[in-house]
Amino acid sequence: MASYTAEQLRNGAGAPSEAFTSGALRRFVFTNPSSSAYFVFQGASNDDGFYDSTSTKVTLGSVDNFIRDFDKLQSIEGAFISSSYMFAIPIPNGLSTLDFTPSQNLPISSSFLRGTGEVSLVIA
């Protein structure tokens, strides 16, 4: 289980992620004491800052069950933004979770976690 503070998520390029194993569900638990925040999970780009065939495709997998306050299911349709190399979602005030199951191994630091506002993250 890894924890990321709001300061780490807001820091420039974001926080380098831990490793993810193909097929293993990981729950992202967000705490947002502010009125709004945004979260981005992004694959590492090449040395020139672009994405190419060597870049990590973090969205090969599934993102499910975005839940706010743990008891209210909230649809992410329309709010969820993704490409092959990243996904992003607004994080409401309070506690929220989402489940991520990669369909490929993601080595440590092959992706970055970014946030705005005061959102912090625990990955379990």
What is the model's pLDDT at position 45?
A: 84
**Total structural domains within the chain:** 1
- The model's pTM: 0.84
What is the model's pLDDT at position 19?
A: 93
Q: Residue 124: is its pLDDT beyond 70?
A: yes
Euclidean distance between CA atoms 41 and 43, whole angstroms: 7
H or E stretch including 9?
helix 6-10
What is the model's pLDDT at position 70?
A: 44
| Residues 108-121: tens digit of each pLDDT | 988 999 999 999 99
Query: Which CB contacts under 8 angstroms, 24+ apart, belong to 76-84?
Result: 83/59, 84/51, 84/57, 84/59, 84/60
Mean pLDDT of 62-70: 63
State the residue range of the domain holding 50.
Answer: 2-123
Output the furthest CA–CA distance in the chain (Å, rounded): 43
| Residues 83-101: tens digit of each pLDDT | 888 888 888 888 888 898 9
| Residues 19-59: tens digit of each pLDDT | 999 999 999 999 999 988 899 999 888 888 888 888 878 77
CATH code: domain of residue 16: 2.60.120
Q: How many residues does the chain have?
A: 124
Measuring CA to CA, which residue among 40, 42, 43 is closest to residue 53? 43
Residue 111's DSSP bridge partners are: 43
What is the model's pLDDT at position 26?
A: 94
